[in-house]
A and B are shown apart, each in its own frame.
Chain A
């Protein structure tokens, strides 16, 4: 026969040894001293069944340790105190008397210890230690179930071996499964079920090229482009820069290698912003115009303020952004402006005529721009997404015949005319506007907000020109910032999705810490306000108090003297004999016999005789019963006599 506690102890102490030893060299001196002492003395105490430290002292000590290390806790110094706290708690559990709950806590603490050792270094020993720990904890848990059922239980040795053998199968199987699930599966590039439908680029909305005239109508979809957490800004400031298209090939605006320029953003208001991009298969990192810097993701930046991620954005990502809203993109060194003046050869005579007329009437680039804007207004162009100009001569058709189109037509024709009149220009693709979700404090940008505008190089500054605003119906277009607001439900659902992305997908440790600090401050201010608020609650307090009093009185009235006596007696018995609960199927004599307490026996005799022969307790009996209960309540512990 083997006592179940024996193998359980062996396993418990080996598990804590395996769990804590990789951590040992990183610990502070007190923990370094206390851990081996706890291991040795704890094990010794278990053998002798005598404990050096009582559990009450241990609790006090644990709280003291906790407070000491908690006071050292700060954002800069978080790992060391936590790890020391873990080890000291583990040691406390090891050295004191254990119940099944404590065994369980030891297992958990050992696992935490091993896990936290990986914060310092992952040495080769981590893996075997982890496997050993998995084995130890699993077998230990199986033994613990037996122990919990009956702590003093002994089982025959062959049976114990069977249990141990069976328990060993569990970790072996789970380790094999772990190999399958945690090693093989995450190695695939995509979630497994994704191979059925690979992500395709959005057919409408933001695109990498601008080629007006290729589609007859443009139906924008309200799918999520990205979310941007920042302060609320004026709508006309919300130009989200994606890409710069600097080359015009026939009617197609594309991005090509461009002469290196050195630029700087001057003026404007600094805005910090965090962007959360959904999974998509391009590399564009959108920025609030004009961006200064970007962090939190590996990326490359070009001098025309286009940011590309180093790898395709196949999972949800988030990054931080610093922008100057309303700033000017200033060129520090002269730019090879001929690159931004290239035009195709086969331009229509009508277009050349317009360009010539403007060129002759203007004396400066700024005036040219003003004249061109006037020309656009005079043409009475309208913003539309259907009945669009065809692919043959989209620009001519847009400007002179159909006179309707969407932002791509406005921007590309404006930029072309700028180039024809000698103003270096390029197209910028991105998004305009955004719906502010005040539940989450962020902008929601959807694909229907995709936009193209023009940048012209005037006096060493890239000036933003938005030709779409020149449409006669521009105030009615969605670009004017008059977007229908989302319903509360839509906002709530979107905010939940946003917080999920923020808290789980792009987990931010700093945010958690600041949240904790914020909570602490909130509590402090609550305490300060306490004495003011308490007065307001006096009436409620009175109502509750009188309610309690009335309840007590009615209970007193409705219960008989015997019921009260019995209740008091049972409470005293529970406390004195440390019985958790007395089952309702147990009679008083039975209880007294089981407890082997003469006081209880006498009580059961007197009380039972009154109860079951149905006479009232005499005065003497009542006195005696009360004094018996008194003995139970005041008496020494039963094992003291």
Chain B
């Protein structure tokens, strides 16, 4: 078995420690977050409030030793509240740029659908370009940079739903879900873990994350699996329920996320199961259904499409 993947053991240890000590019952969401981090993508958490979305983001940033910023979106949030703005410095007699919360490694954007479309698009542009331009001056964002946005799927009043084109910017969309019964009881008994958050020691350094990302991008994706991803994307485009299926960006995201899965499994090549594992968190939210099928669950439709695509095993 090849185990020359940089810092693979360390990342696994990090996952283990977080999920066992701080984020019990959120292993799946945590894993998705790490996959997004490793494949240089952003994460959208779609779930009802109070299931620990913020906790997850906080724990992740503390354990990674990365800086953390947070934006609580409201309908009067302005783009400059995110990117920052220039203030006139009387002493120096010049304008000085005050960085907004976006200049952090990990940015938690809570209830992104409450922000106005103007603000949403300003932030999503920054996510894609990795830089912010204010008053003609361009400021690069720190590396690594990852947005963890949350969205409440049930509350619709006073929200601006993310348009599908913007959803495409997120590598992974996932829910957190309720913890298992025993765990939930334990959490009720002990109370939240927000206090424990402060004691989380950084486990992985920024440099190590950089190197791990390098290793992930070097993982081998065979032509057969490229073909497999293409076939899945093609099947979603041909499906009778969809207006448009997985975009090329979606297919690229699937490939890079599958590489990250292979990395976590300590493999230097991708197998079809990796693709199947990330297919629905990576691709489901990118499907656009015909109006008459809009009520359908996107994840389920994607799973049913996956059933029809044969896995290349020869």
Contacts and interface: CB of A to CB of B under 8 A. Distances in A.
Interface of A: 560, 562-563, 566, 583-590, 608-609, 611-614
A612 B222 contact: yes
Given A611-B314, A612-B271, A614-B269, 17 more contacts: A566-B313, A566-B314, A584-B311, A585-B310, A587-B311, A588-B271, A588-B313, A590-B273, A609-B269, A611-B222, A612-B224, A612-B225, A612-B270, A613-B268, A613-B269, A614-B220, A614-B223
A431 to B, nearest CB: 68
A507 to B, nearest CB: 51
A586 B272 CA distance: 9
B67 interface: no
Contacts of A563: 314
Nearest to B305: A585
B306 A608 contact: no
Contacts of B224: 611-612
Interface string B128-156: 00000000000000000000000000000
Interface bracket on B: 20 to 34
Nearest to A590: B273
A608 B225 CA distance: 12
A583 B314 CA distance: 14
B222 A608 contact: no
A611 B220 contact: no
B217 to A, nearest CB: 16
Nearest to B262: A612
A218 B273 CA distance: 89
A587 B314 CA distance: 10
A585 B308 contact: yes
A162 to B, nearest CB: 27
Contact of B311 (A560, A585, A609): A585
B276 interface: yes
A628 to B, nearest CB: 16
Given A590-B273, A612-B269, A613-B269, A585 B306 contact: yes
A589 B309 contact: no
A289 to B, nearest CB: 76
Contacts, number: 50
B3 interface: no
Nearest to B228: A587
Identify which of B222, B267, B309, B314 gathers the most chain A CB atoms within 10 Å of its CB: B314
B263 to A, nearest CB: 14
13 contacts: A563-B314, A566-B314, A586-B311, A587-B271, A587-B273, A587-B276, A588-B271, A588-B313, A608-B271, A611-B224, A612-B270, A613-B222, A614-B220
B307 interface: yes
A548 to B, nearest CB: 24
B211 to A, nearest CB: 21
Contacts of A590: 273, 276
Given A585-B309, A587-B276, A612-B222, A562 B271 contact: no
A236 to B, nearest CB: 77
Contacts of B310: 584-585
B195 to A, nearest CB: 39
Contacts of B276: 587, 590
Interface of B: 220, 222-225, 267-273, 276, 306-311, 313-314
Contacts of A613: 220, 222, 268-269
B269 A562 contact: no
A585 B228 CA distance: 11
Nearest to A569: B313
A562 to B, nearest CB: 6
Contact of A589 (B220, B222, B273, B308): B273
B313 to A, nearest CB: 6
Identify which of A583, A585, A590 gathers the most chain B CB atoms within 10 Å of its CB: A585
A562 B276 CA distance: 23
B306 A587 contact: no
Contacts of B220: 612-614
Contacts of A589: 271, 273
A566 B223 CA distance: 19
A197 to B, nearest CB: 53
A563 B313 CA distance: 9
B254 to A, nearest CB: 15
Contacts of B223: 614
User: Which 8 interchain pairs have the tightest Cβ spacing?
Assistant: A613-B269, A584-B310, A587-B272, A587-B311, A612-B269, A589-B273, A587-B273, A612-B222
A587 B225 CA distance: 12
Nearest to B220: A613
Contacts of B307: 583, 585
Contacts of A584: 310-311
Contact of A587 (B222, B268, B313): B313
B308 to A, nearest CB: 7
A611 B272 CA distance: 11
A607 to B, nearest CB: 8
A32 B225 CA distance: 65
A589 B311 CA distance: 11
Nearest to A592: B273
A583 B308 CA distance: 10
B62 to A, nearest CB: 34
Contacts of B269: 609, 612-614
A563 B271 CA distance: 17
B224 to A, nearest CB: 7
Contact of A562 (B273, B306, B308, B314): B314
A386 to B, nearest CB: 73
B227 to A, nearest CB: 12
Contacts of B272: 587, 612
Contacts of A609: 267, 269
B310 to A, nearest CB: 4
Contacts of B314: 560, 562-563, 566, 611
Contacts of A611: 222, 224, 313-314
Nearest to A565: B314
Contacts of A612: 220, 222, 224-225, 269-272
Nearest to A567: B314
Contacts of A608: 271
A583 B272 CA distance: 14
Nearest to A593: B273
Identify which of A562, A586, A590, A613 gathers the most chain B CB atoms within 10 Å of its CB: A613
A94 B267 CA distance: 54
A587 B308 CA distance: 13
A583 B311 CA distance: 9
A584 B308 CA distance: 8
A233 B266 CA distance: 94
A216 B88 CA distance: 131
Identify which of A560, A583, A586 gathers the most chain B CB atoms within 10 Å of its CB: A586
Nearest to B272: A587
A609 B306 CA distance: 22
A568 to B, nearest CB: 12
A53 B314 CA distance: 43
B279 to A, nearest CB: 11
A589 B314 CA distance: 13
Contacts of A588: 271, 313
B229 to A, nearest CB: 13
A9 B125 CA distance: 66
A540 B44 CA distance: 69
A113 B184 CA distance: 60
A585 B269 CA distance: 20
Identify which of B272, B306, B308 gathers the most chain A CB atoms within 10 Å of its CB: B272
Contacts of A583: 307
Contacts of A562: 314
Contacts of A587: 271-273, 276, 311, 313
A562 B269 CA distance: 18
Contacts of B306: 585
Nearest to A562: B314
A263 to B, nearest CB: 85
A584 B269 CA distance: 21
A428 to B, nearest CB: 78
B52 to A, nearest CB: 29
